[in-house]
Structure formats: structure tokens, C-alpha cells
Amino acid sequence: MILNLMPHLVNGLTLGLLFALIALGFMLILGLMEQINLAHGSLFALGAYFAYAIATPRLPIPPDMLQAWAAVPLGWRYLAAVVLAPILVAPFGALIERLMRRTYGKDPLYGLLLTFGIAMVLEDLIRTVWGTRDYTLPVPRDLSGGFFFLDLIWSRYRFWAAAFAVAAIAAVWLIVERTRFGAMVKAGAHDTEIVQALGIDIGRLRTGVFIFGTMLAALAGVIMAPIWGIRPHMGVDAVVPAFLVIVLGGVGSFWGAVLAGLLVGMVVGLSGAYASEWSLLSMYLLLIAVVTFRARGLFGKKSALEA
Amino acid sequence: MAAALSGTASYFGPWTHNRVWAQGAKPIKLGLTCDASGQYGNSGQDDLLGMRMAIDEFNARGGVLGRKIEWITADTETNPATATRVAERFIAQEQCAFLLGAVHSGVANAITQVAAKTGTIYMNTNSSAPSEAGENCSRVKFVWDGNGTNFSKAAVKNAVERIGKKWLLLTNDYVWGHTTSASTKALVEAAGGQIVDNLLVPQNTRDFTSYLLKVQQIRPDVVATAIGGDDIKALRQQITDLRLEERTAWINNQQDWPDIWGAPDSLFGVFGTTWYHKLALPGVEDFVRRWKAAFPRSPIPVPGNVSYNGYMATRELLRAVERAGSTNNAKVIRALEGHKMSAADRMQHFDAYIDPVTHQVQQTIYLAKRNTKPSDPTDLYEILSQTQPQNALDDAAPGKCKLMPFEQLPSYEM
């Protein structure tokens, strides 16, 4: 029994780390600006598309350079995609933040509607540039294929993606908890006026956080592309679990998001194996179960309105 | 200068022919209910190209009954609720005489319900749940793709005898998946095989690892999938990544061309289709050439089964209007029921006909596998067999389908 269960637990854990990776950027933006960025999924998709453009020799560059780029081993092209795609998506985040400024301090509904509109524009932009067909992000030989474990074949790439997610989560934790930037972000989330009074430019801080969150979304898109495939509406596949993980973990809680990501991954993985018709619904049922008893999520801070 | 040039050009050409339509004749308007987004967005747009080609060809010859054919389309979003709204708008506001489209069976069923209220004829071009010409059949609807049972009948018996008796089903959790898998199960058991498990896959599943782990744990002889659209693309990619296609026999009930174009490396196992652009039959080459000339910028460079079905459904509808000499729905339905189509005319191996009892097009069913010696980058299939329509018949459908009597059919003429 345990031997049968083990592969599904390992799979759930891997999946959970990837869900947490998708949710991190979303959480940072929500934490500081109290804005739900519904365009997060589109930035995730842009990351995947840019990575595809970089990793496959289709760049809009002169033919000689293109040939030279095609001759570069796939491993290097993939590495370039991982590094460059988030950098290329960053300006989109800066632009969205610029557009959002007028909504700060107002009814959150304005920001919600604005980012929803931006998400639709970005998806249409993707359709215009890349069309509606699907693409596959090629991965280096060393990361593709499977290996035997517990008498089953496992995807090498999925384990690499999980390891990458662990490293990314650790890096984000270090930045938020151990750097001056992180301290400013946390302080800004707690009390904007005091932070401004201390001479910190809250506007620039917000732009910085938005760009950082955008790059994390794009990075998650690059990592998930070989698993999910690249298609125009892949952003929706990402933003829904990201939102769910944040609410489940408790808004603004770093470790809440990580734990919620793992829980969602476990539930989806196990239900896929043992009650397959419930596998997509299971994450919503988990959310309902948690918020029924703990409305602020697992690690959410107590609201002033609560008794 | 430009004005002078254009004035001269109007005398010396080149120019396009502007047909003189029957004096005062109102155009016949078609509502094309095609997905542009969602699980079947790619297929829906490929379907649309086939329909447009047929319409353009009719208009180039002078339309139908001297009337121009106009068309309108809207994204049904692979969503039955959206499809209902689109169909209602097309009939009530746009005054469409006929509806055509759908890849997703839930979408097709939703359009049928709307169309039946007004008696509007609806060509279900590409959705292939056995229920479409079974319990969900309708006097106003005609089903143009082969259905899940047709494909299962062409594949299952042979596979049970030659590959093994232990079968696992992977089923998309909606009407097409369920009805197709039910039919596969009955045929496997009738052939002496056994279904060891049926894993239901929710629509829009992107990560299939837990299902693939179960496949590996159960170790069936054959995995029969009824997964469609974007879902089957993701599944195929993940199976090939793990090289699982080499450890188990895979049978995919039906492989739509837009779902495999662009990812030929993940084409494995045996799969069904109703048409292939390299069938060695008269007319195929000419059709492909016309299609490519009509859509030089199509993201898919050659027509596949989905575009073919869209073309055939539209062409036969317009021909039926011509035979009926009217757009009166009852007359057009009568012109379609039992209509025979020669193999040469449909570019298939055997003659086809529209079953008057179920409104399903009974046609040649092909089984194929990946072509290991392609003649060009589009030559992905190797056709293994062609099954005659009568040998792939869905025997259960006539018992389940109850068509509305003509006396109760709401009548219209546009």
C-alpha cells in the first residue's frame, strides 16, 4: 500500500513546489500594493513565449546571426532563455505598474478590472504575434526523458523543475528577509506613510516590487512551459492556482504560500491517482474546507475586524 | 496619376468578377459556430477554413438558387454556455438560415437545443460523441465526423486479438469522452478483453503525471484514450518525454489533425481519422492545392480531417438547398436524409451516406500510425486500414435516437 502511495506523494510534492513558484510573484505584489494582479498569468505566459523565441532559433535577427545562434548547443540556448526571458518580460511589469498608479488607495475593484483588461490585451497580443497554435519549449538532453525510481519511470525535467523551484523559493526568502530591499518591501506593506516619512521613495519601491514579481511570474512560465506546453491561454492555467494558493496560505504570508502550494500539489496529485474525476476540483474543495474554518487562510494575519 | 492608372485598370484588368445576383434576392446567411479559444480553439479555426472554402467556391459559381452566401462567425470558446448565446444570437438577431460548426460535443449539444426550438438546420461538423447521433440526435442536426463508436469498431477487435486483453481507459471527463469510452469498453469485452480501470481526466488537465504513474503501476496491455484537443497534446508530450509509448500499446480513438500539427514527435500508437491529405485517391491533390491557394497564411499548411469535415458539411448543405430548390427547412432536411455521396466525390475509399434514422454521416474510417518515412514535413500519417461504413456502424445509435416527426418541426424559409 505504502509502496503504491509513495510515487503519488513524491509527484504531489513536486507539483506543489511548482504551484508555490507560480504563486510567489503574485504574493509579493498583493502583499505590498494590496492589488490582485490578474495579469500575473499573462506575464507567466509571456515568459514562456519569450523563452520559446530564444531557445528555438526564431529570433528576429539577421540570417547569419540566426544560423550562428542555431549552432549553439541547446543547453546554452535553454540557459539563455531561463535568464533572458524574465528580463525581457520585466518592462511589461513596469508598464502595468505605471498604469495601475491611479488605482492605488482606491476601491480594489479598479485595480482588479484594470489588470483583468490588461490580461486580455496581453493574451490577444500573444495571439497576434505567435498565433493560436501550441509550441513546445525544447529542453536539453540531460534534462529530458525519464529515469527509474520505485520501479517506475519518472520525468527528469520535473525533478529538475522542482529543485529549481526550491532554489527560487529560497532566493526570494533571502531577498525578502535578509536584504534592505526586502525590509523596505515589508515595511511598505505594513505602513506606507511611515516608510515615506523615512525618506524611502514608495513609488520606486512599488515599481521595483512589481518588476520583481513580474520576473518571478515569467521565470515560472519558463520552467512550466516544457510541462504544460505553450499556448495563448496558458496564463489562465497559472493565475487560478496562484490565486488559490495565496488565499489558502493567507494573504501576505511567504511560508503560507509555500505550504499552500505543497498542499494543493498533494491534493491534486493524490486525487488524480485515486479519484481522478475529482483531480481539478480537489484544489477548490481544499480551499473551501480551509476558509470555512479559517477565513484568513492558514498563515494569514488576524483582521482588525475579527473578535 | 493614381486615379488615371486605376481608371485604366478598370478597363484592362486585373479585376475580380462581381457576380450579378438574382434581382433583389436576399443573401443566404450561414452562422458558423466555431471555437477560437479554449480546448478546441485551434480545431475550431481549422474547421472554419474548410467552411469558408466551400462558401467561396459556391459564390464563385453564382451562389445558391441565384443567391449569394454570406457568413458570420463568433468564438464559441469551447464552452456550451457561450455556444448557446452565440446560436441564439445567430438565429434571432442575425437571421442565419443555417448553423454549422462545433468540435466539442457539449458545445454541439448546446447548439442543437437552441436550433431545435426554431427548426434551424444545424451541421455538427466535427464533434464525435456517439450520443450526438444517439440520445442527443435531432431532426435538425446532421453529424459529419465519424463518432467514437465508429473508430472503436475499426480498432478494438483487432487490437484485443493481436496485442492483449488487459485494457485501461483514459477518458476526458465530458460527454464525448464518456460515451466513447463506454463504447470502447463494450467492444473490448465483446472481443474477450477486460477493462482493468477507467481514469477520468478533467478537461484542461495539464499535468498527467498521476495518470501516467497509474498506467505504469497497473501495466495494461493497451491504453485506449478518449482525450481531445489541447489535453491530448499535453498528454502526448508527457508520454513521449518518458518514452512510455514504447512500453505499452496506445490507441487514441481519434486524432484530429490540428492536435498533432507542430508536434509530430509526439505522434505514437494507433489512431483513427476520416481523411488524410495524402490519401492516394482522385481529387485529393486538387483539393489540397485549392485549399492552400485559398489560405496561404494558415498556421497549418495543409487541410486535415477537421477542415475537410467543415468543407464537406458546408458543401453538402448548400447542394441540398439546390436540390430542394428552397431554403425551407423541411425540404432541405428531406434532401439530406438518406443522401448518398460517392467515394470519389468525398475523396474517401468507400461511398458514404447520411443515415436517415440517426442523421450520422456513415463513411470510411481510417486507422493510422506515425509515418516513419515521410515524403515531406506534412506527411505524418501512415494509413494502416480503411474500414467500410457498414463495418463501423454504431449499432446502438438507431435504438437511442428518436427524431422529432416532421409535423412537429417548426417551419421556416429564409
Chain A contact for B306, CB < 8 A? Answer: no
Confidence (pLDDT) at B354: 98
Of A170-179, B60-69, B234-243, where does the model show the most confidence? B60-69
Whether residues B258 and B156 fall in one domain: yes
Chain B: closest CA distance from residue A192 (Å) = 40
Cα distance between the two ends of chain B? 46
Last residue of a domain, one of B363, B383, B403: B363
How close, in Å, is residue A194 to chain B by CA atoms?
45
Q: Which of B363, B382, B407 is the last residue of a domain?
A: B363
**For residue A237, which residues of chain B lie inside 8 Å, CB to CB?**
204, 206
Report the distance separating Cα B2 and Cα B378, nearest Å. Answer: 43
Q: Are residues B240 and B332 in the same domain?
A: no
Cβ–Cβ gap B299/A277 under 8 Å: no
Whether the per-residue pLDDT at B2 is higher than 80: the answer is no
SS3 A282: helix
- The per-residue DSSP string of B308-361 comes to HHHHHHHHHHHHHHHHHTS--HHHHHHHHTT-EE-HHHHTSSS-EEE-TTT-BE
Q: Quick check: B233 and B206 in contact, CB under 8 A?
A: no
- Indicate yes or no: CB of B213 within 8 angstroms of CB of A136: no
Asked if A233 lies within 8 A of B37 by C-beta distance, the reply is yes
Confidence grade of residue A303 (pLDDT, cut at 50, 70, 90) = low
Q: Quick check: B241 and A146 CB within 8 A?
A: yes
Closest CB from A7, A269, A280 relative to B205: A280
B159 and B248 in a single domain? The answer is yes
B354 found inside a domain = yes
| Position B335 in a domain | yes
Residue A213: the pLDDT is 93
Minimal-distance CA residue of chain A relative to B36: A132
Q: A133 to chain B nearest CA, in Å?
A: 6
Q: What is the DSSP letter of A230?
A: B
Q: What is the mean pLDDT of residues B42-57?
A: 96
Residue range B233-253: mean pLDDT, rounded: 86
Lowest mean pLDDT across A143-152, A237-246, B114-123? A143-152
Count of C-beta atoms within a 10 Å radius of residue B404:
14
Q: Do B209 and A155 touch (CB under 8 A)?
A: yes
Q: B118: buried, middle or exposed (CB in 10 Å: 19+, 13-18, 0-12)?
A: middle
Question: Domain boundary residue among B346, B363, B380?
Answer: B363
Is B109 in the same domain as B188?
A: no
Tell me, what's the pLDDT at B1?
44
Share of chain B above pLDDT 90, in %: 74
Whole-number pLDDT of residue A88: 97
CB-CB neighbors (< 8 A) of A11 in chain B: 209-210, 213
Within a domain: residue B111? yes
Give the pLDDT band of residue A1 (cuts 50, 70, 90): low
Same domain for B130 and B111: yes
Q: Quickly state the pLDDT bin for B5 (edges 50, 70, 90).
A: very low
Q: Averaged over B243-262, what is the pLDDT?
A: 87
**CB of B275 less than 8 A from some CB of A:** no
Whether residue B162 sits in one domain with residue B142: no
SS3 B168: strand
Please choose, from the candidates A225, A273, A240, the residue with its C-alpha nearest in 3D space to the C-alpha of residue A41. A240
Mean pLDDT of chain A: 88
pLDDT at A58: 76
Q: B84 - beta bridge partners?
A: none
Name the helix (H) or strand (E) containing B32: strand B28-34
Same domain as B173, residue B198: yes
Domain that holds residue B237: 149-273+367-391
Asked, for residue B285, whether it belongs to a domain, the answer is yes
More reliable by pLDDT, A167 or B23: A167
B260 closest CA partner among B227, B216, B309, B222:
B227
B388's CB contacts (< 8 A; 6+ apart) are B350, B364
Over the stretch B299-312, which tens digit does the pLDDT of each residue have? 899 999 999 999 99
Residue of chain A with shortest Cα separation from B238: A227
ipTM: 0.81
Q: Test B216 with A153 for CB contact under 8 angstroms.
A: yes
Residues 6+ apart with CB under 8 A from A170: none
Q: In this complex, do B237 and A132 lie within 8 Å of one another by their Cβ atoms? A: no
CATH code for position B351:
3.40.50.2300
A6 CB neighbour count, 10 Å cutoff: 13
The grid coordinates of residue A3 equal 509502496
Does residue B258 have a cis peptide bond before it, meaning omega lies within 30 degrees of 0?
no
Least confident of A4-13, A54-63, A235-244, B18-27: B18-27
**Total of domains in chain B:** 2
Which chain B residue lies closest to A12 (C-alpha atoms)? B210
Considering the domain architecture, whether residues B355 and B377 belong to the same structural domain is answered as no
Residue type, A45: A
Is the pLDDT at B373 greater than 80? The verdict is yes
Put simply, the answer to whether B213 touches A158 (Cβ < 8 Å) is: no
Is A253 in contact with A299 (CB distance < 8 Å)? Answer: yes
Which positions in chain B touch A242 (Cβ < 8 Å)?
A: none
Lowest average pLDDT, out of A257-266, B117-126, B245-254, goes to B245-254
Length of chain B, please? Answer: 414
User: Do B371 and B262 belong to one domain?
Assistant: yes
The answer to the question of residue B3 being in a domain is: no
Measuring CA to CA, how many Å separate A191 from each of A84, A138, A202, A303? Answer: 34, 45, 11, 15
- B263 reaches A (C-beta below 8 A): yes
DSSP structure string for A98-153: HHHGGGTTS-HHHHHHHHHHHHHHHHHHHHHHH-SS-B-----GGGSSEEEETTEE
List phi, psi (to 5°) of A155. Answer: -75, 125
The per-residue pLDDT for range A105-124, each reduced to its tens digit, is 788 889 899 999 999 999 99
Domain-located, residue B240: yes
Please choose, from the candidates B188, B129, B179, B203, the residue with its C-alpha nearest in 3D space to the C-alpha of residue B155: B188
CA triplet A208, A215, A82: central angle to 5 degrees? 145
Q: Looking at CA atoms only, how far is residue A293 from chain B in angstroms?
A: 28
Q: Do B242 and A145 touch (CB under 8 A)?
A: yes
What CA–CA distance (Å, rounded) separates B396 from B148?
12
Interface residues from chain A to B (CB-CB < 8 Å):
4, 7-8, 11-12, 14-15, 131-136, 144-146, 152-155, 157-158, 226-229, 231-233, 237, 268-270, 272-273, 276-277, 279-281
What distance in Å separates residue A273's CA from the closest CA in chain B? 5
The reply to whether B15 falls in a domain is no
Q: pLDDT: is B253 or B304 the higher one?
A: B304
The DSSP line for B178-197 is HHHHHHHHHHHHHTT-EEEE
Distance between CA atoms of A292 and A283, rounded to whole angstroms? 14
Model confidence pLDDT, tens digit, residues A162-198:
999 999 999 999 998 899 888 887 787 777 778 888 8
Instruction: Note whether B372 and B347 are same-domain residues.
Output: no
Q: Is residue B174 part of a domain?
A: yes
Question: What backbone phi and psi angles, to 5 degrees, belong to B228?
Answer: -125, 170
B265 and B308 share a domain? no
Radius of gyration (C-alpha) of chain B in whole angstroms: 22
What is the arithmetic mean of pLDDT over A241-260? Answer: 90
Residues B343 and B253 in one domain: no
